[in-house]
Chain A
Amino acid sequence: MAEQPPVLRMTGISKRFTAVRALSEVDFRLFPGEIHALLGENGAGKSTLIKVLTGVYSRDAGTVELEGQPVEITSPHHAQQLGISTVYQEVNLCPNLTVAENIFLGRELTSAGKTISWRKTRRTAQSLVARFGLDIDVGLPLQSYPLAVQQLVAIVRAVGPADAQTKVLILDEPTSSLDREEVLTLFSVMRRLREEGVAIVFVSHFLEQIYEICDRITVLRNGERVGEHPVSELDRVALVRLMLGRELRGLDALAEADRAEPDKTVLLASGVGRRGSIAPFDLKLRSREVVGLAGLLGSGRTELARLLFGADQADTGTIEVNGAPASIHGPPDAIGKGIAFCSENRRTEGLVPDLTVRENIILALQASRGWTRPLSRTQVDKLAAQYIKALDIRPSDPETKASALSGGNQQKVVLARWLITAPKLLILDEPTRGIDVGAKAEIQKLVARLADDGLAVLYISAELEEVLRVSHTVGVLRDRTLVAHLDNGPELTEDVIMGTIASGASGASQ
């Protein structure tokens, strides 16, 4: 591939935001027909580089060449005209419009009378999605399809219509909310595009996926390019080392450390279930123990957690907390029993973005006291300062608006909110999703420490590796049923769990 001229060459790109140097003299090249991973921790400059490339930001220095010609990209629209298309992490389409309307929004197909030809639109859209291996009705609203399909429709929109000669396709964390099967569909589409000669920039936090699909890797750190390598020449440890710039101490040490023995039962669920959501399950959660939940997206992981917390109402079964029957009809009941729940959707179900970090942190504690018994300002300041320090939340100013924080720090704020309620049971649903490797390791370590201090933890993660690292036992879900409890030990590997997910209870030990 190297003998081919690159389709895109960015040289010496610098970008500065007031006091912060976001990019300094970054080089980036992209060859036709390759899938190129752009990696780095949060804040390394990936998004900034992409935004310079798509004309969202103007660069301070450097040159951009497209097919050997210097170009000045002035706006996202201009980038699109040049053949650079982007699909963002969050689907940027209109869920209430039909799939066909979404694909042709802003470049409607017209008939002779200069009016929109819906027939033509529909037919072209249908053949387009078929070309991408999607079997869907383009006449239905986009929102009637799962997120993965919406994501693929976004890609169809970006590269599909014949008028846009897509040379470069940028996928900014397209897989963060997809399950395995959906990822595979996406990958097959990506491979097809690669064969057609499209150069794809792939941004992802999932290392597995990068090794599965990518040809070449560029790593950014602190706004600088620290390396560009073919995937085959860079193993995972080396890659992580490049991204972090330091050894991955602690990440693996976690599993090896002597873990305290589980203590008394905190929560016992018997036959708890909810029709259409999750089949009745039994679950025992003990203090000093981390129970991991593994399963594909949509297998009922989140649904199970929400029943325990009362976020949804169970319609069968009983729950005992500390040996006494507990009726949990809503979050306040659960919180009263010492249960805390961090939702997987940080933005929509966790943070209140307009409030400050301080206010977000004390929210659950204040809610449990009721509005008539406010925490004193001194107490609040003390608690906020204590947890900002303990969890190393940055920036450390408690008066920062929560929306201004990075993903990892937002997650820590939500964690702090629950930790100050001094819970007995902490339910974490995807606590490390979409946050960088360093923050991820910190949160995992924190969870291990909390469990050692006597907390019962239920830990949900889509990444098997992570589940294995933090948990004492692993519950496996499949098709909205809890199918197995596996003890974590040397013999429990990702393959065993995957086998269990694939085949049901038959793969279970004991």
Chain B
Amino acid sequence: MTESMWRNVVRHHLFWPAAILVTLLLVNLPFTPGFFAIHVRNGHLYGSLVSILIFGTPLILVAIGMTLVIATGGIDLSVGAVMAIAGAIACWYIDRQSDQSSVVGVLVAVVLALAACSVLGLWNGFLVARIGVQPIIATLILMVAGRGIAQLITGGFIITVQSKPYSTIGGYIWVVPTGVLIAAVAVTSMATLTRRTALGLLVESVGGNAEASRLAGIRSRRIKIIVYVLCAVFAGIAGLMNSSNLSNADANNAGLWIELDAILAVVIGGTPLTGGRFSIGGTVLGALILQTLKTTIFTIGIPSQANMVFEAAVVITVCLIQSPAFRARVMAPFRRRRPPPPATPVRVETTETPAEVAS
């Protein structure tokens, strides 16, 4: 590989998330021989990598929805509660059926749950885009109230269902885990939706400069509402997967704290919290990094009471490695001879950057 090709690879916006993921995976190898092995057992794909994918899928779904919200300069804290509501509605409906294993019944349950989620997304979008509530406050309302709504639906109990079609969502289709299929479809359709239409551009524009976007004729309210609805629906799907996997609806614990992991995945993936440019691929990598980290903590035998602290330390390191400004500072003593990279200028009050001098 020539030097210039190598440089292009390093400059790619997914290079650092990918490198971090690979490193984390490699760390596991000495502790778990055959960590990378994948085989079929009992007619199902099996292996450490497969488990990471399976357990990571709800987070991937929630995080790609969150990516768009964050790209508009917003945030959605209610995704965990929305997951709980989706599971609660589905299980409540299935529980009422005389034949819990009726495919039609399960389909209706799924549609019902996702329809409810889009209404919740509309509510969030309405508060943010129409009323003008700060996103963190607007979605905090549903974050708190949502668990209450879920409890009302479940009647305060954990509803357990025995439905074969329903458990397929969190189970397997042939040898492949259903969740992985759903996530693959979700990621592809989200990428298509944002990059094959103009939605991605308009989202980035609204997040990059809201007033300029308004004056360019972008109906930013509409864009924001769409984004919150998408986020809620994706959270709903994640909630169904979660609930199907456990065959129950737990209003209190389903999707608990997932909003924080999702935000973290988005940031690790390279989408700034201030809005603007976003990267779906980066977010997927970010989610996988977090999931791999959780696995790694167990395989390398960190004592359980040190889990949280260790995770936090790794996350901070990962975030720092992801920051171009930090890398530039660390690398500065080593690249005296070479011209400085065209990274973000460090000076604060420059009105004329070197690039402008050039023009």
Contact of B198 among A88, A335, A375, A409 (CB under 8 A): A375
Is there an interface contact between A332 and B212, defined as CB atoms closer than 8 Å?
no
Is there an interface contact between A352 and B209, defined as CB atoms closer than 8 Å?
yes
Is there an interface contact between B358 and A17, defined as CB atoms closer than 8 Å?
yes
Q: Name the B residues within 8 Å of A394 (CB-CB).
A: 359
Is there an interface contact between A354 and B204, defined as CB atoms closer than 8 Å?
yes
Is A510 close to B, CB under 8 A? no
Q: Name the A residues within 8 Å of B209 (CB-CB).
A: 348, 351-354
- B206 (CB) vs chain A CBs: closest residue: A352
Is A369 close to B, CB under 8 A? yes
Is A20 close to B, CB under 8 A? yes
Contact of B352 among A47, A349, A370 (CB under 8 A): A47
Interface-forming stretch among A140-148, A255-263, A358-366, A492-500? A358-366
Chain B contacts with A in 319-359, Cβ cutoff 8 A: 339-340, 347, 349-359
Interface-forming stretch among B99-107, B113-121, B214-222, B239-247? B214-222
Is there an interface contact between A349 and B211, defined as CB atoms closer than 8 Å?
yes
Chain A contacts with B in 205-250, Cβ cutoff 8 A: none
- B196 (CB) vs chain A CBs: closest residue: A374
Is B27 close to A, CB under 8 A? no
Instruction: Report Cα–Cα, A351/B205, bound state, in Å.
Output: 9
- A409 (CB) vs chain B CBs: closest residue: B359
Is A92 close to B, CB under 8 A? yes
Is B18 close to A, CB under 8 A? no
- B199 (CB) vs chain A CBs: closest residue: A371
Q: Name the A residues within 8 Å of B276 (CB-CB).
A: 354
Contact of A343 among B198, B199, B215, B351 (CB under 8 A): B215
- A434 (CB) vs chain B CBs: closest residue: B351
Query: Which one of B216, B218, B339 has the highest number of Cβ atoms from chain A below 10 Å of its Cβ?
Result: B216
Is A350 close to B, CB under 8 A? yes
Instruction: Report Cα–Cα, A56/B352, bound state, in Å.
Output: 12
Q: Name the B residues within 8 Å of A133 (CB-CB).
A: none
Chain A interface residue bracket vs B: 35 or more
Instruction: Report Cα–Cα, A409/B357, bound state, in Å.
Output: 12
Chain A contacts with B in 52-98, Cβ cutoff 8 A: 56, 88-90, 92
Is A165 close to B, CB under 8 A? no
- B226 (CB) vs chain A CBs: closest residue: A371
Chain B contacts with A in 245-279, Cβ cutoff 8 A: 276-277
Instruction: Report Cα–Cα, A395/B217, bound state, in Å.
Output: 27
Is there an interface contact between A19 and B212, defined as CB atoms closer than 8 Å?
no
Is B202 close to A, CB under 8 A? yes
Instruction: Report Cα–Cα, A363/B353, bound state, in Å.
Output: 25
Chain A contacts with B in 390-423, Cβ cutoff 8 A: 394-395, 404-406, 409, 417
Is there an interface contact between A369 and B198, defined as CB atoms closer than 8 Å?
yes
- A369 (CB) vs chain B CBs: closest residue: B198
Chain B contacts with A in 184-239, Cβ cutoff 8 A: 196-199, 201-202, 204-205, 208-209, 211-219, 223, 226
- Against A, the Cβ 8 Å flags (1 = close, 0 = not) of B103-143 are 00000000000000000000000000000000000000000
Q: Give the distance to chain B from A356, nearest Cβ to Cβ, in Å.
A: 10
Is there an interface contact between A364 and B205, defined as CB atoms closer than 8 Å?
no
Q: Name the B residues within 8 Å of A371 (CB-CB).
A: 197-199, 202, 223, 226
- A88 (CB) vs chain B CBs: closest residue: B349
Is A115 close to B, CB under 8 A? no
Is A372 close to B, CB under 8 A? yes
Is there an interface contact between B215 and A311, defined as CB atoms closer than 8 Å?
yes
Is there an interface contact between A42 and B205, defined as CB atoms closer than 8 Å?
no
Instruction: Report Cα–Cα, A155/B244, bound state, in Å.
Output: 67
Q: Give the distance to chain A from B343, nearest Cβ to Cβ, in Å.
A: 12
Instruction: Report Cα–Cα, A56/B350, bound state, in Å.
Output: 9
Q: Name the A residues within 8 Å of B211 (CB-CB).
A: 348-349
Chain A contacts with B in 171-193, Cβ cutoff 8 A: 172
Query: Which one of A335, A351, A395, A406 has the highest number of Cβ atoms from chain B below 10 Å of its Cβ?
Result: A406
Is there an interface contact between A349 and B208, defined as CB atoms closer than 8 Å?
no
Is there an interface contact between A22 and B212, defined as CB atoms closer than 8 Å?
no
Q: Give the distance to chain B from A4, nearest Cβ to Cβ, in Å.
A: 32
Q: Name the A residues within 8 Å of B358 (CB-CB).
A: 17, 19-20, 43, 395
- B340 (CB) vs chain A CBs: closest residue: A18
Is there an interface contact between A331 and B217, defined as CB atoms closer than 8 Å?
yes
Is there an interface contact between A331 and B216, defined as CB atoms closer than 8 Å?
yes
Q: Name the A residues within 8 Å of B349 (CB-CB).
A: 56, 88, 92
Q: Name the A residues within 8 Å of B201 (CB-CB).
A: 355, 359, 363, 366, 374
With A90-B351, A375-B198: A355-B215 Cβ-Cβ less than 8 Å:
no
- Against B, the Cβ 8 Å flags (1 = close, 0 = not) of A362-390 are 01101111111111000000000000000
Instruction: Report Cα–Cα, A335/B214, bound state, in Å.
Output: 11
Q: Name the A residues within 8 Å of B351 (CB-CB).
A: 47, 88-90, 172
Instruction: Report Cα–Cα, A492/B283, bound state, in Å.
Output: 62
Is there an interface contact between B356 and A43, defined as CB atoms closer than 8 Å?
yes
Is there an interface contact between B356 and A404, defined as CB atoms closer than 8 Å?
yes
Is A31 close to B, CB under 8 A? no
Q: Name the B residues within 8 Å of A349 (CB-CB).
A: 211-212, 215
Is A132 close to B, CB under 8 A? no
Is A45 close to B, CB under 8 A? yes
Instruction: Report Cα–Cα, A509/B204, bound state, in Å.
Output: 50
Is there an interface contact between B219 and A348, defined as CB atoms closer than 8 Å?
no
Is there an interface contact between B347 and A404, defined as CB atoms closer than 8 Å?
no
- A331 (CB) vs chain B CBs: closest residue: B217
Q: Give the distance to chain A from B341, nearest Cβ to Cβ, in Å.
A: 10
Is there an interface contact between A48 and B214, defined as CB atoms closer than 8 Å?
no
Is there an interface contact between B205 and A352, defined as CB atoms closer than 8 Å?
yes
Is there an interface contact between B359 and A43, defined as CB atoms closer than 8 Å?
yes
Is A459 close to B, CB under 8 A? no
Is there an interface contact between B216 and A43, defined as CB atoms closer than 8 Å?
no
Q: Name the A residues within 8 Å of B277 (CB-CB).
A: 354
Q: Give the distance to chain A from B274, nearest Cβ to Cβ, in Å.
A: 10
Q: Name the B residues within 8 Å of A355 (CB-CB).
A: 201, 204-205, 208
Q: Give the distance to chain A from B132, nearest Cβ to Cβ, in Å.
A: 16
Query: Which one of A349, A352, A366, A368 has the highest number of Cβ atoms from chain B below 10 Å of its Cβ?
Result: A352
Selected A-B contacts with CB under 8 Å, 19 pairs? A17-B354, A17-B357, A90-B351, A172-B351, A311-B214, A331-B216, A331-B217, A352-B208, A353-B208, A353-B209, A354-B204, A354-B277, A363-B201, A363-B205, A364-B216, A366-B198, A373-B197, A405-B355, A406-B359
Q: Which 10 A-B pairs have the closest CB atoms?
A: A17-B354, A47-B352, A374-B198, A352-B208, A367-B217, A335-B217, A367-B218, A354-B208, A354-B276, A18-B339
A17-B357, A374-B201 known; 12 other A-B pairs, CB under 8 Å? A17-B354, A22-B354, A47-B350, A92-B349, A332-B217, A352-B204, A352-B208, A359-B204, A367-B217, A371-B197, A371-B199, A395-B358
